[in-house]
Amino acid sequence: MKVTGPGAIGPAGGPKARPSGGSGFRLPGAGAVEGPASSAGVSATSSIMGMDALLALQDVGGPLERKRRAVSRAGRILDVLDDMKVALLDGRLSGHDLDRLRRAVRDERAQTDDPKLEAVLEEIEVRAAVEMAKLEQARRAA
């Protein structure tokens, strides 16, 4: 077995040590002052950029996350509408029920960008306002 020196060991990555004339060995670029400082600066910057990217991805969410949130908000509106249906059938619809519906619709409208959905939510909000006016008129008459 013949050992030819550190440069012939194999395909290891990184800088290779080369023998120099006098004593010991010398790494390429070892005399450069900016080596370790620039390396630390680059790694610090890349970790910050990586964190920003993670936060941006977390904020945006994927299509499945957006759909899950939309279904959750729609479920809230449907629950309020179902409670109102039961209250109407029992003859005990209150202003509180209508106010809950208007708040739920307002919250949903703030987070949607679909024009068709906004039109439906607008109709629900108008109907809730009409029913609220009917209740107030019935209270004044009584």
Residue 87 has pLDDT above 70, yes or no: yes
The 10s digit of each residue's pLDDT in 26-76 is: 666 655 555 455 555 555 555 566 666 666 666 556 778 777 877 888 888
What is the C-alpha to C-alpha distance for residues 69 and 19, in angstroms, rounded to an integer? 64
How far, in whole angstroms, is CA 142 from its chain's centroid?
A: 51
Q: What one-character-per-residue DSSP string does 72-123 give?
A: HHHHHHHHHHHHHHHHHHHT---HHHHHHHHHHHHHHHHT---HHHHHHHHH
Q: What is the pTM of this model?
A: 0.49
**Looking at the predicted structure, is the pLDDT value of residue 17 above 60?**
no
Structure tokens at 77: 């509106």
Return the pLDDT at 86. 92
